[in-house]
Amino acid sequence: MKSRKLGNSDLNISEIGLGCMSLPTDEKTAKWIVDAAVDHGITYFDTADLYDKGINEEIIGKALNGKRKDIILATKVGNVWNKEGEGWYWDPSKKNIEHQVKESLRRLQTDYIDLYQLHGGTIEDPWDEIIEAFDHLKKEGTIRAYGISSIRPNVIKEFLPKSDAVSVMMQYSLLDRRPEEWFDVLEENNASIVTRGSLAKGLLTNEWSNRLAKANGYQTYSQDELHATLEELANNSKDVHAAALAYVLQSPIVASAVIGASSKEQLEATILAYNNAHSIYATELKKLTKIDMYNAHR
């Protein structure tokens, strides 16, 4: 497993990261998946205090016990569960960030977080206060670096130039190429992309036909548009899964493709696809890029 530098930080993260939201709440099964990820060279693990009301962080903390020094651990902050536990609200205040980081540290069983990410954001947020909170946590050693998880251009452009953020987590795949419009902005601000949704809920794997049968379109794709696009992708690639990973990793602005796995079998399929991705050439990727006749840059 190769690694890439995350923005202008001193963090090097594996090209494939494990998105922990998909992990089962059964601790034994989750540990099997985490252990398998580590065995395959995955060093980047991404969770959030929102996932399973904090239980996901607890599971990751237990599963990574004894492996912490070899891991780049990322989590997120900003969404707070209601007391009733039936929904959450947005609170990006400094007070909340500095409170929630302590809770995440406790659940993750660690005394520092490698990458702390704002889990969303709006243009009306108190950005100076948010940045002050992250800078303070970094200065005291509670976090090593910080970033944001957002797909909103106005939020990204508000946050990056004013801060020392090193990353933006955003949805990016063969079926969603919007981030390509912002590559220059990220490069100008010395930030990397950490992708999510790069397999499009399994539609960009070799099981695409089974996933398609259960889908009802995808984002702005109608079901018919999605079927036509996936069929053409499959006709032009022997390994859709590998092509999907190769596509998002071809740009150096991307530090890692974060892929979810709810079973060891799903993880093994992604590792195999990652290894096969190295044999996919630029000419094939260029051909695949032209296939998205419906939604490219919509």
Domain presence at residue 233: no
Alpha-carbon Rg for the chain, nearest whole angstrom, is 19
Instruction: Give pLDDT, residue 82.
Output: 86
296 pLDDT tier (thresholds 50, 70, 90):
very low
Domain that holds residue 185: 3-202+247-279
Count of the separate structural domains present in the chain: 1
The residues that are catalytic are 51
Residue 229 within any structural domain of the chain: no
Give 202's contacts (C-beta < 8 A, 6+ positions apart): 208, 211
Encoded tokens for 108? 């993750």
Domain CATH number, residue 79: 3.20.20.100
Closest CA to 14 of 48, 39, 49, 47: 39
Element spanning 75, H or E: strand 72-77
Residues 116, 166: contact at Cβ < 8 Å?
A: no
Q: 150, exposed or middle or buried, with CB in 10 Å at 0-12, 13-18, 19+?
A: buried
Q: What are the φ/ψ torsions at residue 90 (nearest 5 degrees)?
A: -95, 125
pLDDT in tens, 11-45: 999 999 999 999 999 999 999 999 999 999 999 99
- What's the pLDDT band for 3 if we cut at 50, 70, 90? very high
Burial class of residue 226, CB neighbours in 10 A (0-12, 13-18, 19+):
buried
> In terms of Cα–Cα distance, which of 227, 253, 246, 226 is closest to 288?
246
Residue 98: pLDDT band (50, 70, 90) is very high
* Any domain includes 61: yes
Q: Determine, yes or no, domain membership for 168.
A: yes
Q: Is residue 128 in a domain?
A: yes
Of the chain, the percentage scoring pLDDT greater than 90 comes to 83
SS3 category, 173: strand
Q: Which pLDDT value is given to residue 298?
A: 43
**Is residue 50 included in any domain, yes or no?**
yes
The whole-chain average pLDDT of the chain stands at 93
66: left (phi over 0), alpha (psi -120 to 50) or beta: left
Q: Which residues lie across from 50 on neighbouring strands?
A: none
What pLDDT is attached to residue 81? 81
Confidence of residue 292 (pLDDT cuts 50, 70, 90): low
Per-residue pLDDT tens over the stretch 150-203:
989 999 999 999 999 999 999 999 999 999 999 999 999 999 999 999 999 999
Q: Who has greater pLDDT, 278 or 167?
A: 167
Q: How confident is the model over 109-146, as pLDDT tens digits?
A: 999 999 999 999 999 999 999 999 999 999 999 999 99
Query: Who wins on pLDDT, 106 or 54?
Result: 106
Read off the tokens for 37: 């990820």
Decide if pLDDT at 295 tops 80: no
Entry pTM: 0.94
Residue 106 structure tokens: 């406790």
Would 226 be classed as within a structural domain? no
Amino acid at 294: Y
